[in-house]
Amino acid sequence: MNPTHLVFASLVVAIASLGSEEISSNGDHTDAWKTVDHPELFFLIYRSYEYAAGTGGTGKCVSVRLCDKNDTSRTARSRLMYRDAQTTLLKGFTTRLTTARSWNSTVDDIIRLGNADDCDTPTNAATVQNRVVYSDYVSCDVTVVFGTLET
């Protein structure tokens, strides 16, 4: 099974960021591209569904670092690293990120994750989609698996 799908399946995420970015002046706190566009390393702090095979089952110490981005096409690649709970080894993989807009949103509020390690995967292929419920664009992002109420 694709690790990217499993990492973010059934997540509610609070991410602590080491960088800082201004909060949108119009009060919108759901812009997916602003959450993807963090140049600094950030860490997964909480997820409601503890088991995710993509991060070693109950993998801890999950971090995400933006590798590169294209503002025009709104695509990015990020490197996810985690400590495997069974082997205690540090493991990682690269994910391709794109954004999309849900039917009732005024901004792109969906983060699509795909496998960037597989060269045969189309650019727009998504293994999982997460909707941004809230972000302060500084230290906290809360997402849910799109189309579910999983918290």
Q: According to the model, what pLDDT value does residue 109 have?
A: 92
132 belongs to a structural domain: yes
Q: According to the model, what pLDDT value does residue 71 have?
A: 93
For 131-150, the pLDDT digits (tens) are 899 988 888 888 887 776 55
As a whole number of angstroms, the distance between CA 102 and CA 39 comes to 25
Q: Greater confidence, 119 or 137?
A: 137
31 belongs to a structural domain: yes
For 78-118, the pLDDT digits (tens) are 998 888 777 888 888 888 889 999 888 899 999 888 877 77
Q: According to the model, what pLDDT value does residue 50 have?
A: 63
Q: Which domain holds residue 13?
A: 3-136
CA 36, chain centre distance (Å): 7
67 has a pLDDT exceeding 70? yes
pTM (two decimals): 0.70
Q: According to the model, what pLDDT value does residue 77 have?
A: 92
Q: How many domains does the chain have?
A: 1
Mean pLDDT of the 118-136 span:
75
93 belongs to a structural domain: yes
142 belongs to a structural domain: no
24 belongs to a structural domain: yes
Q: According to the model, what pLDDT value does residue 57 have?
A: 63
26 belongs to a structural domain: yes
87 belongs to a structural domain: yes
CA torsion, points 17, 78, 2, 35, in degrees to nearest 10? 50
**Closest C-alpha among 102, 103, 94 to residue 131:** 102
19 belongs to a structural domain: yes
Q: According to the model, what pLDDT value does residue 28 have?
A: 75
Mean pLDDT of the 66-78 span:
92
The domain that holds 62 is classified in CATH as 2.40.128.20
34 has a pLDDT exceeding 50? yes
Distances (CA, A) of 127 to 36, 39, 83: 16, 23, 22
